[in-house]
Amino acid sequence: MGEGATKPIWRAALIGAAFILSAGYAAAAPVAPAVMVPALDLYVDTIVAAHNGALACAKPASPARDEQAWQVGRAVFIATLWANGFPADFVRAADKRLSAPSAPASCDDPSAFTFGGADNEGWQKTFDHPLEAMDLTPVAQPASGEAWSSIKSAIADELPKQSRLFECIAAVYPDVMPAMVHDWDEMIVKIGGKLVAAGLPRDEITTALSAAEANSLWHRAEADKVRDLATACQADQAWQQEFGAFAFLGLADHIDKLLPQPPADSDSDQ
């Protein structure tokens, strides 16, 4: 099997295809994510009821009363669904239900006592169980909404500079364009994989990175405009400095710093 056949599906899907992420990492799984939606819909209702019941009925020292653990478990659960290609409308609806303020529960209602698992081992492990049962590895460090906003801003800020760089390279060094397009789009694909792995909304990743593809940023100039464009570009130092320092490839490093960082001792544990 050739190298291309072993690469994750997002590598093949991004360029020229608007970063099709609906299948994602889960494409190789025997059970498609959409098949699991009805069962997961039931699970979300059940765990919301369990959370409400725990707040009303659990003993004061119960792990089921730990709201921070609930929020962490909820974030991991939702991020894992995003990372594995579950339908966007379902993931968003599930996140909304899991993030809603708790509703009053009566301790006389049998459904109020469905928090038994969390009462014993806490919400984080309780949320992990259905993920692991579906052969999904929980996203241990989901990216926050604030991080995603910063990443989208970083991408948007870079696009005008990269568009100008493509424009001038095409006019002044046209023989370099194949390499430029390849290197830029390869970087965008790698960024996409990291954003997916961090559990960010896949449809939003699609929107942000489709706009960043080389063929979205650059279109070949009309023949009668190339000479004037080349003259203007030769007088413009900004793109030349960007090109000379390969600064345009720094976007990946910038985004890496905005994503959750692994524990400091993670390398030593391997």
- The pLDDT score that the predictor gives to residue 85 is 92
Distance CA 72, CA 219 (A): 45
pLDDT of 17 strictly over 50: no
pLDDT of 12 strictly over 50: no
Q: Report the predicted TM-score, pTM, of the whole model to 2 decimal places.
A: 0.81
Least confident of 20-24, 30-34, 79-83, 102-106: 20-24
- The pLDDT score that the predictor gives to residue 265 is 58
Q: What is the DSSP string of 153-199?
A: HHHHHHHHHHHHHHHHHHHH-GGGHHHHHHHHHHHHHHHHHHHHHTT
**SS3 label, residue 138:** coil
Q: Which two tokens stand for residue 220?
A: 């070949």
pLDDT band (50, 70, 90) for residue 63: very high
CA dist list (Å): 4 to 1, 7, 12, 99 = 8, 6, 8, 40
Distance CA 110, CA 125 (A): 23
Average pLDDT value for the chain: 84
- The pLDDT score that the predictor gives to residue 109 is 73
Q: What are the residue boundaries of the structural domains of the chain, listed by start?
A: 30-133, 145-258
Looking at residue 99, the DSSP 8-state letter turns out to be: H
b (16+ CB within 10 A) / e for 157-188: ebeebbbbbbbbbbbbeeeebeebbeebbebb
Q: Where are the beta strands (DSSP E) in 197-268?
A: none
pLDDT band (50, 70, 90) for residue 29: low
* Whether the Cβ atoms of residue 154 and residue 102 lie closer than 8 Å to each other: no
CA dist list (Å): 23 to 8, 33, 201 = 11, 8, 13
